[in-house]
Amino acid sequence: MIKKQSGFTIIEIFIALAIGLALIVGVLSIFVNMRTTSSETSSAGELQENGRFAMTLITDDLLRQNFWGDLSGNLDGGGLISSPDPTAITGDCVGEGANNASFPIEVGAFRTLWGTRVTSADVMGCIDNAKLGSDLIQLKRAIADTELNPIPPAAPLTIADLENDRYYINSNANSAAIFAGNAAAIPAVNIGRLWEYQHHVYYIREDSHGTNTIPVLMQGRLQNDNSAIFFDIMVEGIELLHFMYGVDTTDDGSVNAYISAANMLQNYWDNANNVRIVAVKVYILARDILPDLKYTNDNVYQMGDISFDADGDNFRRLLFSSTVSLNNARVNSW
């Protein structure tokens, strides 16, 4: 006798297909959510890393602004034995004021810290691609050996450390001389010690990569070469810089007001006539390098006295802020 064989009914097949489809949809949903979470986590990590690096770079420089090795006080004509002629330097970055090039002149206060709100891509005579609406800051100082070689203790340089493409300062407590590394002789300073002399400029520019525009933090460094200031990319994804300068107008060492570069009185930059810049508030807005079309940013980021409106675009952002006390600006000697 042949046994009758029975299979699945149409209803059973449809039920099985429905269950299988539900399982597949669930697995795909988990996979998509994991990818989204992974992408968001990676984006957040990149924003943190880029923003913190930019903040560390700028704040460390500000902490040492106006440091001149063994020289007690400001770098001005009174204690300056010799210095390269700033008008003879090709491609120098020159800010506002009568004495705001890479090297000081004999007359007037030397502006070792200065900033501006970028209203034109051409800034300081050495930049032609600055991002409009962001800030630019420049500072001058001596650099200790531990910053070139991070093995403590802090120390000045030796003659063997001098390089032809750099500038240096030979200083004691009362006087100093600035010279190029390829100079025929080091200017004589009684019991002087050697330090690298540096002029740094920070600003934002935008680079095109295909259809995307990527903001980058640029650093300019003084060098003894065909061009006085050499620019290099420090970190990508830094969209805006903004600085507010803590001004002491009563000569008591405390901040009376924080003022943005756009509102600073010109004489405030000179650290003269009992007015000094003793602190700087730093605001850095980091942005994803590429947009995420699944993300809409409606946030408004407050940066001191200005704000940035994401206006519903597809970029994630993270705002960093810090206040830096300029210890070298608080005293006439140390």
Highest mean pLDDT among 40-44, 62-66, 222-226, 237-241: 237-241
CA-closest candidate to residue 143, choices 86, 202, 215, 200: 200
Q: For 34-48, 243-257, 269-283, which range has the lowest pLDDT when averaged over its residues?
A: 34-48
Higher pLDDT, 203 or 76: 203
Q: Is the pLDDT of residue 196 over 90?
A: yes
Average pLDDT over every residue of 28-38: 65
Query: Do residues 118 and 203 lie in contact, with contact meaning Cβ atoms separated by under 8 Å?
Result: yes
Provide the 10 A C-beta neighbour count for residue 108: 15
Which residue type occupies 125? G
Tokens at 131, concatenated:
């991002």
Residue 118: strand, helix, or coil: coil
Whole-angstrom distance, CA of residue 160 vs CA of residue 304: 46
* Block residue for tokens 């608080």: 330
b/e map 11-31, b = 16+ CB within 10 Å: eeeeeeeeeeeeeeeeeeeee
Q: What percentage of the chain has pLDDT greater than the value 90?
A: 63
Instruction: Indicate the helix (H) or strand (E) that contains 143.
Output: strand 135-143
pLDDT digits (tens, 9 = 90+) for 212-252: 899 999 999 999 987 789 999 999 999 999 999 999 999 88
pLDDT at 333: 43
Whole-angstrom distance, CA of residue 231 vs CA of residue 236: 14
pLDDT at 334: 35
pLDDT digits (tens, 9 = 90+) for 149-162: 555 456 789 899 99
What one-character DSSP code corresponds to residue 96? S
pLDDT digits (tens, 9 = 90+) for 276-323: 999 999 999 999 999 998 899 999 999 999 999 999 999 999 999 999
Task: Round to the nearest angstrom and report the end-to-end CA distance of the chain.
Answer: 113
Specify whether the backbone of 210 is left (phi greater than 0), alpha (psi in -120 to 50) or beta.
Answer: left
Angle at 75 between CA 197 and CA 256, to 5 degrees: 115
What one-character DSSP code corresponds to residue 186? P
Residue 271: strand, helix, or coil: coil
Query: Do residues 316 and 47 lie in contact, with contact meaning Cβ atoms separated by under 8 Å?
Result: yes
pLDDT at 4: 59
Average pLDDT over every residue of 120-134: 95
Whole-angstrom distance, CA of residue 40 vs CA of residue 28: 18
Q: For 78-82, 104-108, 199-203, 314-318, which range has the lowest pLDDT when averaged over its residues?
A: 104-108
Q: Give residues with Cβ within 8 angstroms of 209, minimum separation 6.
A: none
Mean pLDDT for the chain?
Answer: 88
- Cα 217 to Cα 17, 135, 212, 213, 296: the distances in Å are 55, 11, 17, 13, 24
